[in-house]
Amino acid sequence: MSDLIFKIKSIQKSYMDRKVNRIITFPSMRIERGKITVIKGETGVGKTTLLNILGLMDQMTFTDDDEIFFYPTKSETILYSELCAKRKTILENIRRKYFGFMFQHDHLIDSWTGWQNVILPHIIRYPRQSLDKPIEQVKKLINECNFLDMLEILDRSPSTYSGGQRQRTALLRALIHHPDVIFVDEPFASIPWKRAKEIFSVLNKQTYKGVTTVMVAHDIHDQLFSDTNANMLTLIEETKKEFTTITVKEGWS
C-alpha cells in the first residue's frame, strides 16, 4: 500500500441554496504523500469545496461514518471529525504548520508590498524569528524557482503586477514556510501557458522534497501533467432533488 497523507471516508457538506438545504456527498478518496493530486470535474461539482475542507478552510458536515484521516507523518494520524470539535486554535495551528495555499484569484494584499505578502506565512508560523530569516528564505526560493525577475518587483504593490507575476508571488507565499501540503486552486485559469508551465514545474520539483500538492484544475491543462506521475481524481456529479452525490474516477481519462 502506497504512503497516504489524506484518507477520505465518504464526507458530506451541507449548504443553503436559495432557502433550500442542499447536501453534497463526496465518496471515499485517497491522496498520496509526496505526489501531485489533481482534482478535476465540471464546474460546480465541488472541487474547491473539497479543497477547502481538506485545507481546513471550511468544515464538513459530519455523520457517524464520515471521516478524513490526515497523516502528517507516517506514525501520526489526525482525525478531522475530532479536530473540528476542538478549539479553533488547533485548526489554526495545523494550517500554520502543515499547509500552504495558492488560490484561484491569488488573494494577495494589494495595500502591502510583494515582500510583505510573501513573508506573511513565515511571520505567522515563526513569530519568534528575526526579520532577516524570511527575507533570506525568499531570496533562496526565488533562486530555486528561477524567478529572478521577481526580485525587482517585490518592493511594489501587487496591484502593479501582471497576472503571471501575481501567481508567482502567490506561489512563493505558499512555499515560504515549508509546508507539507500545498493546496492549489485553479492557479492557471488566468495566466499564459508559459507561466502555467513554469509554476507547475516548481510544484513538481517540490514533490522531490516530499511535499504533497493537491490541485484543482481543468481539462485544458491536462497536457501540463502528462509528463509527471501526478494522480488524477475526477469528480462526477449526480443530483436528485436537494441531494448531490459525487462519484470519483481515479486515473487519467
Partner 1 sequence: MITWMKKNLILNSPDNSICLFGKFLEQVILKDFHPERGQQNNLDYFFQCKLHVYGSFSILFIFFLSGFIFLGFYNGLQNYVNSMKNNPFTMVIKITKYSNKKDLSELEKLFYNLESKSFELNNINNGIPVINRIYPFYTQPLRFLDKKMKRFVEMHDVLVIRVPGEKNNKIGSDVLYDYINKNLRFKKKIFSPETDVKNEIILSPSLYEKIYLNKQHEYNNNMKVYFEDLHKDLSTERIREGVKEIWEKPLTKKEIFKFTNDADLIGVLDSYPGFDAIISEGYYYHLSNKFYYTGKPVKRFYIKLEEGKFSEPNIKEIEKWAYEQFGIGSIEPIDPLFQMSNEITIQFTSDANKLTSKDNIESQFNKLEHKKGLFALEFNEEGESNDYFYIKQKNEIFTQNDLSKIKSWADKYFGKGAIKKLPESEKSNQLTIEFTSDAKEWTGKYNILWKFTELQKIMGKISLDFNEDLPSYYGHNKKYFYTLIYINKDPVILNNVSALIHYIGKKYGAYLEANQLITLSNYLKYIQRMDIIFYYILAGFTILLLIYVLVTFTLLLQTKRHQIGIFKAMGGSSLRIVFIYVCESLLLISLPILITFLISYFFPPGEIYAVNWIYLTFYIMLIVLLTVIGAVVSALNIVRKPPYQLIQYQT
Does residue 157 come out as left (phi exceeding 0), alpha (psi in the -120 to 50 range) or beta?
A: beta
By CB atoms closer than 10 A (0-12, 13-18, 19+), residue 4 is middle
What values do phi and psi take at 116, rounded to 5? Answer: -65, -35
Which of 80, 101, 188, 225 binds partner 1 (CB under 8 A)? It is 101
Please list, residue by residue across 171-185, b when 16 or more beta carbons sit within 10 angstroms of its beta carbon and e when fewer do.
Answer: bbbbbbbbbbbbbbb
Which of 10, 12, 81, 116 binds partner 1 (CB under 8 A)? It is 116
Which of 12, 27, 34, 59 binds partner 1 (CB under 8 A)? It is 59
Beta carbon of residue 144, minimum distance to partner 1 (angstroms, whole number): 21
Nearer to partner 1, 108 or 230 (CB): 108
Beta carbon of residue 133, minimum distance to partner 1 (angstroms, whole number): 9
* Residue 146 near partner 1 by CB under 8 A: no
What is the rounded distance in angstroms from the CA atom of residue 78 to the CA atom of residue 7?
A: 10
The residues, ordered by sequence, that sit 6+ positions from 165 with a Cβ below 8 Å of its Cβ are 150, 153, 158
Which of 10, 157, 201, 245 binds partner 1 (CB under 8 A)? It is 157
- Letters for 4-43 (x = contact with partner 1 by CB under 8 A, - = none) are ----------------------------------------
Eight-state DSSP code of residue 61: B
* Residue 140 near partner 1 by CB under 8 A: no
Q: With contacts defined by CB under 8 A, name the span among 63-71, 102-110, 144-152, 214-222 that binds partner 1.
A: 102-110
Contact 32, 52 (CB under 8 A): no
* Residue 63 near partner 1 by CB under 8 A: no
